[in-house]
Structure 1
Amino acid sequence: MKKFLYIAPVLIDDNRLDGVAKKVLSQVSVFEKKYNSTLMSYSNNALRKYDSTGINYMPYPDNTHRRFNLYNAVSELVANEYFDYVYIRYPKSEFKFIDLLKDIKNIGAKIVIEIPTFPYHENDKTFKSAGILALDYVLRTQLKKYVDRIVTYSDDKEIFGVKTINTLNGIIFDNIECKKENIISDTINLIGVSAIRSIQGWDRIFKGMNDYYKKGGSQKILFNIVGDGPYLKQYHDLVAKYKLEDRVVFHGFQSGTTLDNLYNSADIGVNSIAIHREKLEKESTLKTKEYVAKGLPIISSYPIEAFSHEENSKYVLQVSPDETLVDIQSIIDFYNSLYITSYKQSLAEEIRESARKKCDMNITLQDVFKYFDLMGEVNG
């Protein structure tokens, strides 16, 4: 069995897994069906190594940045153990990252990096992040010397001079149960599950709700927001300003049964509706995959890649990709078009199975497998 190393410079808190950690662990579970796999990442206070022997937490050897500790540990690992294939979640280029790529290339491994969001140059605006981006801009030109392919969820055929593998952001559907039929009520229940950032744009819905109720609207709308993030305070302030405290509920980070119960009560999932703020025209988000695996229709400012054109027309309310408030009547009409004529449970199962065909991770990683297997044949 070929040996596979996944380098993920992300925090994996085994007691509180966020969306990125869940994705990385899901990817590893798929990769290890074919390869003898090792994952190198962080835990809260140590490096986290996972392989066939289980999880091993390794204290940081010094007080340098944890990312540098990870790079040093991986360099030592590849110096003592051969890997056929190396997969890296791209952390942006810096000198030590380029040095790591050199070390890996020296053992003859095939290197594939995944860029979760591309383009990404508009994402960060602080002074510190601007410096990181400037260094990345200079050093990423060297990637083509060492990297064999870049996995992207964009349509780009080449990034930084490296050929791409185009795919979708996937999840393992069998790990997520379809939502159970919720109790019939007179309330339309929306749910948003994500890190709270500007790109979510859920302030557009708050403004739409304020406008709708000021004009005498009577339909009960409840928006459950699950997650933490830098825009959470701004959201709280807007909800207080518009006096929507009984219509918008903040639940913070949730998982397990509590999150499942929130999904069971939901009628519609709310996707990012402000990707235009970061000059994006499409995105491949994990939350939409979780929504569709749960069987939820979606509000979005762009088509959902889990669906065909016809399915997008049916299961997705596409709002304008700008700063206008969201028309609440359009949400009411969308809800009625789905649920007045459809049994809620059967609709959820229909949505789930439609999306599974495209977005199950066992399918979305197939082109990565094909590339590695082809390289294995060539080298063999």
Structure 2
Amino acid sequence: MEKLIYIAYIDRKIDLGVYKKILAKCGVFAKIYDVALICREGNSICIENIKNKSVKYIDNRLLTLNKEDKLLLIKRYINYSRFNSYVQKALIELAPKYLYIRKYKFLSKGLKALKFAKKNLNCYIMYEIPSYPDDLEIKGVGRRILNALLSKVYDVKVEKIVDKIYVVLGKDIILKSDKYKEITNGIDISDIRIKELYDYKNMINLIAVANVSYWHGYDRVIEGLRLYYESKNKDRIRVNFHIVGDGPELNKLKKIANDYGLNEYVVFHGNKIGKELDDLFDISNIGIGSLANHRKGFTKDSALKNREYCARGIPFVIASDDEMFGDNFKYIYKIPKDESPIDINKVIEFYNLIKKEKFTIEMRKYAEENLTWNAVMRDILNDLRVAKSKNHNKKKFE
């Protein structure tokens, strides 16, 4: 069985969401190839065999990083360099036919490893940019300038070496060449239980699950609830907003809810998994997706949460366009891509229009057919088949 190495500069314990996504993709590759994942855990570099689930640790290769450390930037780039050195060593030992790399800072040693893989191993190299253009998510002028300089130096060189560049688009742009191809995120549907239906006559429960950040825009929901409860409508029903998860924006949201006197209606649950999370979804009617991608310059949405809502069978609200759900998908309510409060009355109207339909079954079926990793990775696997049929691996890097 031919070998494929997946390289991702992420911590398998800290970057748990990204790690789970990468594992799912590795699982699809592992149906055809012998797959190893190179990543990090603490101060160690890890190489994980996907089929037998064994992990080899290269201990204490990486420096401990502290945000208060004045040498943080230097130490971070020392770690990149050490990680890249190990990647080249692993390439020599494992001699893969295929490489799949999730973008990180290559620096000179990373480029050296790529050139070695292409010239000496004749590897077919796939390069993923998980958010493109990637400078949209970088906060701070200094960091953006540094990223732009590094990109100018290294991205152009990487582009010349690799065979295919897969990008998850944050906004509509024209891709540079045929080497680029748009992809999207998928889900492992086997881990997601379809929700039970609870239809309360005089109450609607909204639910949001996230590592709560500024681009989720949950403040728009709280602002909308403030306006809703300040109205004089006698026919008003109760609307609750359940926020599940932690994150950097959580304290701000708690303060806003408290200042508006909405603690009775806005409930912060913290992190929930398993049955506790399933139970919360069972009592909820509408999922809340990302409502403020525009704050980081995005006009498109490929959030895993949208796909998970669909797999659970819960209609949901988003602001940006998600191309995995066409215009005819009737279980999404779109709101404007701006800072306006969400109109709670319109959300209620949306739910009343669909609540008598078998939306849980239809949404689950849609997810099974369109949103799994097997479905969204068809193009990547097809590119690999085409490359093999053309005997692409015999081409030498010049």
Same fold (TM over 0.5): yes
- Report the TM-score when normalising by structure 2: 0.86
Query: Secondary structure at 1:23's aligned position in 2?
Result: helix
Query: Secondary structure at 1:177's aligned position in 2?
Result: coil
Q: Tell me if the contact between 1:123 and 1:278 (Cα under 8 Å) persists in the aligned partners.
A: yes
1:332 corresponds to which of 336, 340, 348: 348
Q: Tell me what 1:377 maps to.
A: 389
Query: Secondary structure at 1:254's aligned position in 2?
Result: coil
1:323 corresponds to which of 336, 339, 351: 339
Query: Secondary structure at 2:278's aligned position in 1?
Result: helix
* 1:156/1:148 CA distance change after superposition, 3 Å: farther
In the aligned structure 2, how far is the partner of 1:58 from the partner of 1:320?
49
Query: Secondary structure at 2:390's aligned position in 1?
Result: helix
Q: Tell me if the contact between 1:93 and 1:136 (Cα under 8 Å) persists in the aligned partners.
A: no
In the aligned structure 1, how far is the partner of 2:282 from the partner of 2:43?
35
Q: Tell me if the contact between 2:217 and 2:292 (Cα under 8 Å) persists in the aligned partners.
A: yes
Deviation at 1:93, TM superposition (A): 5.1
1:176 maps onto 2:188 in alignment: no
C-alpha RMSD over aligned residues: 2.3
1:12 maps onto 2:33 in alignment: no
Q: Tell me if the contact between 2:301 and 2:321 (Cα under 8 Å) persists in the aligned partners.
A: no
What's the CA shift string for 1:282-338, capped at 9, x where partnerless? 121111111111111110113433323211xx2111101111111110111112112
One-letter code aligned to 1:355: A
Q: Tell me what 2:113 maps to.
A: 100
What's the CA shift string for 1:231-283, capped at 9, x where partnerless? 22221221122122221222233322222222222211111111111222112
Q: Tell me what 2:66 maps to.
A: none
Report the number of matched residues.
371
Q: Tell me what 1:142 maps to.
A: 157
Q: Tell me what 1:305 maps to.
A: 323
Q: Tell me what 1:358 maps to.
A: 370
Q: Tell me what 1:112 maps to.
A: 126
Q: Tell me what 2:26 maps to.
A: 28
One-letter code aligned to 1:317: Y
Q: Tell me if the contact between 1:190 and 1:221 (Cα under 8 Å) persists in the aligned partners.
A: yes
Q: Tell me what 1:296 maps to.
A: 314
One-letter code aligned to 2:23: L
1:37 maps onto 2:35 in alignment: yes
Query: Secondary structure at 1:189's aligned position in 2?
Result: strand
In the aligned structure 1, how far is the partner of 2:244 from the partner of 2:146?
30
1:214 corresponds to which of 206, 225, 230: 230
What's the CA shift string for 1:151-180, capped at 9, x where partnerless? 123365634x57122232111222322122
In the aligned structure 2, how far is the partner of 1:234 from the partner of 1:331?
24
Deviates more, 1:290-299 or 1:250-259: 250-259
Query: Secondary structure at 1:158's aligned position in 2?
Result: coil
- The percentage of aligned residue pairs carrying the same residue is 29
2:253 corresponds to which of 231, 235, 259: 235
Deviates more, 1:288-297 or 1:67-76: 67-76
One-letter code aligned to 1:74: V
Query: Secondary structure at 1:121's aligned position in 2?
Result: helix
* 1:246/1:58 CA distance change after superposition, 3 Å: farther
Query: Which 5+ residue runs of structure 1 have no aligned equivalent?
Result: none
Deviates more, 1:198-207 or 1:220-229: 220-229
- Report the TM-score when normalising by structure 1: 0.90
